[in-house]
Structure 1
């Protein structure tokens, strides 16, 4: 009935093709990781070692293994070798016979090997040709350099020869402004032997035609392969129903569809709106009696309707996702690969990331187009946690060829990955590429990134025609064929496909999505996040360093200086360290030493993102999505990430947890003389309660208390109070005054915010003495914190891996803050309530120079 599968990941060896000595290899893996595990190279992440391993991508490498094949497998009518991921140019030999020449990292390769297999000692050998040597001739043949803004060819010793655009391979392997250049080769996904006879279901997709709470109208689309033509019974089973259909199938490959309805379906919801319920559908091909299953496949999916709503409104054209009829304000971040060597990313690391997203109240991640089509486990976890996925195709910040062979490869790549991913209910959007439309800006002579000026008019037209062939024709055609009706967005950001100057996104677009980088790249003030607003903010960000103990995992104490070789090697944005320092001078006081600089860089980043996130949420429904750059890191580095490479939550991630809260208060002081209080709600029920306002001194002296009854409808934003700044201060020292605002519902504090009347650098801080006591009966897992004076950005740190229920928060005298510790675990939950072990607690007054602390 079922096909037999045998994974061939054991007993591999490898070597350079021009050498004789075979070494043990780990599959899946890469040449770099195998060299490291054999002690043949130093840790490429440490110090300045990146530059020491650039020779690897210039050589050819080969891998081989031997395996046995049981008689019951060899006796099957069909025996195939399936290569789920070969990176990238690979010639494959089975028992000395060439069976495959692969040229796309993202494709699945299927080869019939029945007549070649032996019972014992089958040799499988794969030769990986150097991606650099393979593609340099293509550049020479083309005669000009296509734009590839992040290809660090100089690091690889290639001068200005940027060849990344020719390979269908993860673009970030060639370097990025947060990542190193490691151009890999290797077997990066499983190889399996698959055998079957009679009938086989090659693919199964549950297409959701129309979904409501009362009924889901579905179609099972099957790709089948049968040896003998004739009638079959197709049976579909799941919780809540069973359906059958008789079909006459021709011999060989064919497609067959079964329409059916699921009554009163349990819908899949994104985090915060409901349960992300999943169904398992069992699909069988039966003989005509219905008694014997000849083939079977299981499909796991969630039942939901989702669409990208782009409709004319009072502002321009909307851009938001509607899930099961409910408008969703998207909250989250951009996801990049979790490692330069993706095979090193364990299940636990994936769960850690997705659970961290859910714990931070996110409901969307964007799989960015310069990485990989993620591993299955990533999407499984997004389904489980209710995290929507904006899925880019793997093209970013470059212009690509458009020859026939390249287009054919892209088409196969798109088909393979869409078939693999289309049953995941989490996928909300398919997007063609990252920033290519706005970077080239074909219809705006003075727009874009300045690329066009390097080309003749004839070359420009050819480059743009190649772009349109992929992103305006090929990809939408594949989507409509495989996922009819699914939403496609050709480039992020873009306004629309208008074929004129209005197509390209700007930071003032009232249609489409926006990437706003004035803060950071242009050194614009944080306050501009309140002004530069788009319908969907799909990228924006600010950098920070990892924490001190993370930095010491890739640097020596002598390297702890902003312009040291190691700090510069682990800062891939050319102006990055200068910009962090420039912004720190603008908004903060001077750190007392380099570890303090690391801490303050994180607070600075978190403050910037809080301003942005809450500005976006307050401006709902004009803005309906906010995805900051970026969620994670591929290696230990100073970057825009909210979690460092080792999984430690930076200040940003804790701030995001608070600023993404489903129900919260947001305070806006951008209007002269006013302090405005907003309620933000992403739940469907109305939000009603009391707002308590306390005005206090930094020493805890309470000056004034106000209470206001407030309410807003569910799933909306509302201005509920507009207060006079001078009336709040009443002549008190603005440099030592804080406003504490609490939202209380039925006696429970739903949210608490603190507002200051001057920028941080103008505050009169005194040295905070923080008292910490263990909560009785908690077995050391929960703590109460109190302080003598205002303690800003209280940082709790443990010698155990894990997270705190809250961190980098402000504490004032008279408050008792309860905090729990959750250790990082590897089970069905990423985090588990635990004892933190050695606990350190510090606040901002511990990191600034003593001369800046009030006595």
Structure 2
């Protein structure tokens, strides 16, 4: 087999005569940006000035040479791994392909049209706007795609995103810009062969026990002619060989084998994410004609939905063990996905691991992620909840659209099923709850806009797509993995009990009454479902990030630029309103950015820890959202440049595998010990009360056994008895878990809101000790904020200190080769407030 990449691309607007160098993989926007033909769409309000790009056609071409060895192969496939989106492809003036799906892989045998020597490949990309705009008019249905920012796109109320099988967020979202791309977004390659070629390699799991794993190697291969040979499997240290007779054309070979005493793939926190090295080869007359290598993890996964006293459970079992899923929702890391490098993926996954997460949900309005993403999740034991790419609207149900989606699903499921980390497939984001077919007054008010016949059609189309096609594809290609038609969804009952309207005792929940519903943070404690797959609160990025899209004249949350980088309507004002309730007034713009992050962290801490305290009733908490696709005010815990916000540091504390959580309720404090590990743990629990000037007022230390994989109240105190005559505003409750003389968790609790705390003018000091930094303060300091001029993250940040305490932190650099000696600065909340 011979492979050759197609490189040296040029592009132009279709009506232009000037060809310019193009980067492939890439997009029209990034190529225009490289040639200074547009300004950076992320700066200021420049997004508005590039809306013309998606309304014209573009052409890409490559002139490449093919040598005689490749040209002589019996079969020469030209493979397009990703074309965005409406493209016609010509090879040496011969039309060879018309594509209409960003998420599909297209393969064309071009043997008859390839030349020895020079060849030319030309790809015409039709404007996705011009291609689809008539469908709204001719079809008579304007679909309810609320996040499609058609106004900014100059289309009025015409929502076009539903027609194109491309990333929905390209058309705008309530955290992202409208940048509707075109281009060659994945590699193009020639593959020539004269004997056989692997089309697909899959290791199917039949049975698993502690003693053995019964597996089946399934190979799809194409043979140019009839031949006899042997398939050779090297799985870890064992070798399996099967004699096969291949017919001309497509063949499927199965090779059953057993692994004795298998090492299992576990998620982070439960065990080692072991993967076996696998090599598959086809051999004829002792000559290896073809081979391929991959890694494989052995594991079982089950979505458990059992009736119980509360309703119906919703949790995952991994290798027979219940898993409390902790993590966040993932969106694409850039509006221009081809700019996302391996190092950016590594930073995201390592940030998830460092924050004690064990799951990321690949949300359905983005893309099926690059293989690098899933390989990193496999390597680090991060479970993946994988949405299909459908979100927040109804979709067409005509035969061409459904056939297109079915092939898309087959392509993506077959690509991603090799990854042990992918444990749950989900049809779409929020459509079932938004439409709410069986509750007339439920949902987002969509169905009331249509007449009875249209409503009937839209629901029938929905069921065909999400209850038929995607269900059937997953059952066929990943029979051992669960499929869930929509998130959120209460149950599959085909009546009013199906829809996740509010917090129910079944299914998964998107809880947005805090933020969209303007409810206080305390509402998180009372609204806990079986699996909290979305909830969130916004903050601004750090000033260093804001500086990348503003000038100092824009430094006000009500400025045009700051409002443009807030895609959720009145979001900036909503942050301010919540801040007035919970935090002291900030002294200036930079301080407001800091305070917004502290606010976000406090709110989501309430949510995460409430969810975990309710274990096993609740068995999952995934906040919205992990990351950003551009620099913006959003719900993310890590901004576009990968800077951790206060929330990400808080998530690290609230996601600890063994931790304490403090609940104040009805004049009492309940101290919970929560464990996600699979064995009991012997610890000491220290409960202390300090005055804010550092005086120890009360202390109790007791031995305790924390039960495996459970949540339990370990201490309970009546507040008035605990603090006695001391003023609530002047004391702090400190709880600590100690194992083998090492502190493994510490949680603090104040008996009044942060806003009411009297903050002294603390001086925070930083001392270096080789690779560590020792933080101290002369007075009580709240939410100490460490900064440095190097990209990376601290082991802890936004923490409180009493006088006499010290905090030892380390710093992880993004660039491991950066030997720059960093300088760490520290401030605290008192430095940020108006006095």
Match of 1:207 in 2: 204
1:253 aligns with 2:247: no
Match of 2:394 in 1: 399
Match of 2:810 in 1: 820
Out of 665, 676, 684, the residue aligned to residue 682 of structure 1 is 676
- Deviates most, 221-230 or 377-386: 221-230
- Deviates most, 695-704 or 43-52: 695-704
Match of 2:91 in 1: 94
SS at match of 1:50: helix
CA distance, structure 2, for counterparts of residue 532 and residue 7 of structure 1: 53
Match of 1:754 in 2: 748
TM-score by length of 2: 0.99
1:19 aligns with 2:9: no
Match of 2:828 in 1: 843
Alignment of 1:552-563 (within 5 A): 552-563=547-558
Match of 1:531 in 2: 526
Any gaps of 5 or more consecutive residues in structure 1? 851-855
Alignment of 1:153-232 (within 5 A): 153-232=150-229
Alignment of 1:267-306 (within 5 A): 267-287=264-284, 289=285, 291-306=286-301
1:513 aligns with 2:508: yes
- Aligned partners of 1:12 and 1:26 also within 8 Å: yes
Out of 451, 454, 461, the residue aligned to residue 459 of structure 1 is 454
Match of 2:433 in 1: 438
**Post-superposition, which runs of at least 4 consecutive aligned residues in structure 1 deviate over 3 A?**
none
TM-score by length of 1: 0.96
Out of 550, 574, 583, the residue aligned to residue 578 of structure 2 is 583
Match of 1:792 in 2: 782
Deviations 1:409-430 (A, max 9, x none): 0011001111111110000101
- Aligned partners of 2:443 and 2:501 also within 8 Å: no
SS at match of 2:700: strand
CA distance, structure 2, for counterparts of residue 208 and residue 240 of structure 1: 18
Any gaps of 5 or more consecutive residues in structure 2? none
Match of 2:610 in 1: 615
- Aligned partners of 1:223 and 1:253 also within 8 Å: yes
Deviation at 1:826, TM superposition (A): 6.0
- Aligned partners of 1:240 and 1:263 also within 8 Å: no
1:708 aligns with 2:706: no
Match of 2:410 in 1: 415
Out of 644, 654, 657, the residue aligned to residue 662 of structure 1 is 657
1:352 aligns with 2:347: yes
Number of matched residues?
A: 835
Q: 1:272 to 1:836 in 2, by over 3 A?
A: farther
Deviations 1:379-412 (A, max 9, x none): 0100011000000000000111000000010011
CA distance, structure 1, for counterparts of residue 458 and residue 105 of structure 2: 28
Out of 235, 238, 257, the residue aligned to residue 235 of structure 2 is 238
Match of 2:732 in 1: 738
Deviation at 1:368, TM superposition (A): 0.1
1:5 aligns with 2:32: no
- Aligned partners of 2:442 and 2:501 also within 8 Å: no
Match of 2:537 in 1: 542
SS at match of 1:652: helix
Deviation at 1:835, TM superposition (A): 6.1
- Aligned partners of 1:821 and 1:835 also within 8 Å: no
CA distance, structure 2, for counterparts of residue 758 and residue 602 of structure 1: 20
- Deviates most, 397-406 or 835-844: 835-844
Deviations 1:447-481 (A, max 9, x none): 00000111001100100000000100001111111
SS at match of 1:159: coil
CA distance, structure 1, for counterparts of residue 812 and residue 666 of structure 2: 43
Deviations 1:784-814 (A, max 9, x none): 1111121110000001111111000111112
Match of 2:307 in 1: 312
Deviation at 1:482, TM superposition (A): 1.2
Deviation at 1:836, TM superposition (A): 5.4
Match of 2:797 in 1: 807
Deviations 1:117-175 (A, max 9, x none): 11222010000000000001111111120110100000000000111100000000000
Deviation at 1:703, TM superposition (A): 1.4
CA distance, structure 1, for counterparts of residue 450 and residue 705 of structure 2: 58
1:337 aligns with 2:322: no
Deviations 1:281-303 (A, max 9, x none): 2122223x5x2223322232211
- Aligned partners of 2:766 and 2:824 also within 8 Å: no
- Aligned partners of 2:77 and 2:110 also within 8 Å: yes
CA distance, structure 2, for counterparts of residue 467 and residue 736 of structure 1: 57
